[in-house]
């Protein structure tokens, strides 16, 4: 079944700043769109009062054990209020991400639409080598890609053939090729031999197949 779009839990008690910042967004959203959110669990004045208490206890939290406990208590209260508001917004939005955004919260992502074409042409990636055989890879977004595959050539790159979702290497090639597939745009690999001139290419992949390979980026391993 499709995943419904809901309020994304972007805050945590372990990160007090995330709660303090979110209160500002919630107060703003409920104020501007009061007609959409007429009866929140805690009204705007109540939210402002709690936000003031959070700010006060946060500023004093380092003034001994009592102050630390006082802040922990009000922080839990703030977290509970945000969760009640999230449920309230979910009920009103009924999966509409635009309504969730108006509330000040961030919506989750629903199911991605099924791809109908392969990803677009990839660009030139970047690669940074660090001591110990580490190689940090990054690429610009490839339109239509749901994952990124890197080709790392230990020598001058050769043309690979892609057929039916398979990458084929020419039988006569003597250049070693490392394929790192199914990953994110940015990742770090390790264990590469030092002192090697390598060339990095990237291509996008989705449910239809691989897109065209981008040009190579040269880097020297250390």
Instruction: Examine the pLDDT at 110 and tell me if it is beyond 70.
Output: no
Mean pLDDT computed over every residue of the chain? 92
pLDDT tier at 171 (50, 70, 90 boundaries)? confident
Instruction: Examine the pLDDT at 113 and tell me if it is beyond 60.
Output: no
Read off the pLDDT of residues 180-198 as tens digits, 9 standing for 90 and up. Answer: 987 888 889 999 999 999 9
Query: What is the pTM for the complete model shown?
Result: 0.52
Helix H, strand E, coil C: the string for 44-59 is HHHHHHHHHHHHHHHH
User: What percent of the chain is predicted at pLDDT more than 90?
Assistant: 77
Read off the pLDDT of residues 61-79 as tens digits, 9 standing for 90 and up. Answer: 999 999 999 999 999 999 9
């Amino acid at each position: 079944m499709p995943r419904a779009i809901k309020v994304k839990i972007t805050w945590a008690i372990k990160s007090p700043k995330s709660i303090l910042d979110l209160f500002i967004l919630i107060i703003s959203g409920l104020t501007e769109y009061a007609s959409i959110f007429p009866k929140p669990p805690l009204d705007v004045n109540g939210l402002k009062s709690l936000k003031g208490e959070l700010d006060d206890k946060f500023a004093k939290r380092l003034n001994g054990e009592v102050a630390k406990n006082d802040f922990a208590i009000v922080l839990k209260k703030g977290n509970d209020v945000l969760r009640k508001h999230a449920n309230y917004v979910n009920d009103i939005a009924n999966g509409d991400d635009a309504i969730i955004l108006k509330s000040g919260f961030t919506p989750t992502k629903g199911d991605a639409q099924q791809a109908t074409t392969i990803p677009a042409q990839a660009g030139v990636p970047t690669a940074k080598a660090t001591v110990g055989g580490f190689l940090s890879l990054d690429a610009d977004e490839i339109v239509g890609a749901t994952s990124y595959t890197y080709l790392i050539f230990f020598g001058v790159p050769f043309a690979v053939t892609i057929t039916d979702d398979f990458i084929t290497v020419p039988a006569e090639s003597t250049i070693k090729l490392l394929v790192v597939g199914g990953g994110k745009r940015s990742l770090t690999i390790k264990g590469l031999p030092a002192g090697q001139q390598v060339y990095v290419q990237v291509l996008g992949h989705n449910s239809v197949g691989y897109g065209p390979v981008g040009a190579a980026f040269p880097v020297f391993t250390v």
